[in-house]
Homo-oligomer: A and B are copies of this chain.
């Protein structure tokens, strides 16, 4: 089943409205949620609407809260998100960061009192579209063991970076710092398949190819000690700087509707035009991407991609052909509509 972006956003806004979240706030959130579907990251898309709506309806997220800046430095901000929706916290913080960067060159912010910010790419791209190199990091619920450990004490600690490009839209790297999403282990378990060694460890700390053991144990950082180091730096930037919880103390997005998550973010923008001629930068950066894309390919490889290029192609396809939604997700959305008293007929398939 295929739906237009507008249909899915309209449905999202209708549900959120019943959960008490309306107007520009709901529109921004719907943009961020459906952007994940458009970019081919369905795991972070409309399939999560049920949980977001429940978090708003239950009051575990403060739907009326706005950010507060707690210090007076020009370009290094301590921000309290006051338990608002993560997407709104990031948008408000980045708007301040961009204004400061336009004046001073750069601005970074450590944020506490956060809730799941969706995909980091949405926030990083927002800055890149305004000529800023933009960073969006978050800590998360724990599921990754440090190198040498066997307890899931680090979050997936994602990092998104976007850099403006004239020819490619933007370079967008949006990655968790673990090997693969834990969802892939859950899926392998459901399908009775093994997982590759190196993804995860069992509760004894030994490498495992058994999804059940992996889920009792921990995921591993990507790239060994290097990925572990990056994950730990993200943890410190997000929690120690801001005073947010460390990953193992954060509350669950999925299961806890009583206690605020208190995630930490680290957001930042750098205004290219303050450093150099913006058009010259775009030409130079595109030349790098061109040279890489035109370099000789490995056997069987059709295209060398720059980070974010596959997601941009997915966006273009979604604009032309709509977004594909599986039967299971569709039926859950129909149920959700009934539960919130929304007309399921809003979910009109594309012609």
- A residues contacting B by CB (< 8 A) are 71, 73-78, 101, 103-108, 110, 133, 145-151, 153-154, 161, 163, 171, 173, 175, 201, 204-206, 222-230, 232-233, 235-237, 239-243, 246, 248, 270-272, 274-276, 280-281, 284-285, 287-288, 291-292, 295-299, 301, 303-307
Q: Which of A163, A223, A240, A285 neighbours the largest number of chain B CB atoms within 10 Å of its CB? A: A240
Report the Cα distance A299→B284, complex, angstroms.
49
A172 nearest CB neighbor, chain B only: B229
- Contact across chains for A173 and B240 when beta carbons are under 8 A apart: no
- Contact across chains for B239 and A284 when beta carbons are under 8 A apart: yes
- Contact across chains for B232 and A227 when beta carbons are under 8 A apart: no
- Contact across chains for B76 and A150 when beta carbons are under 8 A apart: no
B residues in contact with A295, CB < 8 Å: 145-146, 149-151, 153
A270 nearest CB neighbor, chain B only: B76
- Contact across chains for A275 and B73 when beta carbons are under 8 A apart: yes
Copies of this chain present: 2
B residues in contact with A303, CB < 8 Å: 148
**A147 in complex: contacting residue of B71, B145, B304, CB < 8 Å:** B304
B residues in contact with A110, CB < 8 Å: 275-276
Report the Cα distance A224→B68, complex, angstroms.
39
- Contact across chains for B239 and A298 when beta carbons are under 8 A apart: no
- Contact across chains for B275 and A78 when beta carbons are under 8 A apart: yes
How distant is A245 from chain B, measured CB to nearest CB, in Å? 11
The A interface is mostly helix, strand or loop, or mixed, namely: mixed
Inter-chain pairs besides A78-B275, A148-B305, 7 sampled, C-beta below 8 Å: A73-B271, A149-B296, A175-B226, A205-B301, A229-B307, A236-B285, A243-B280
Report the Cα distance A264→B156, complex, angstroms.
31
Report the Cα distance A291→B239, complex, angstroms.
14
Report the Cα distance A224→B199, complex, angstroms.
13
B residues in contact with A173, CB < 8 Å: 226, 229-230, 232-233
A205 nearest CB neighbor, chain B only: B298
Report the Cα distance A146→B306, complex, angstroms.
9
**A292 in complex: contacting residue of B77, B133, B149, CB < 8 Å:** B149
A151 nearest CB neighbor, chain B only: B295
- Contact across chains for B71 and A274 when beta carbons are under 8 A apart: yes
How distant is A196 from chain B, measured CB to nearest CB, in Å? 12
How distant is A234 from chain B, measured CB to nearest CB, in Å? 10
**A150 in complex: contacting residue of B163, B237, B287, B297, CB < 8 Å:** B297
How distant is A200 from chain B, measured CB to nearest CB, in Å? 12
- Contact across chains for A241 and B275 when beta carbons are under 8 A apart: yes
B residues in contact with A232, CB < 8 Å: 171, 173, 288, 292, 306-307
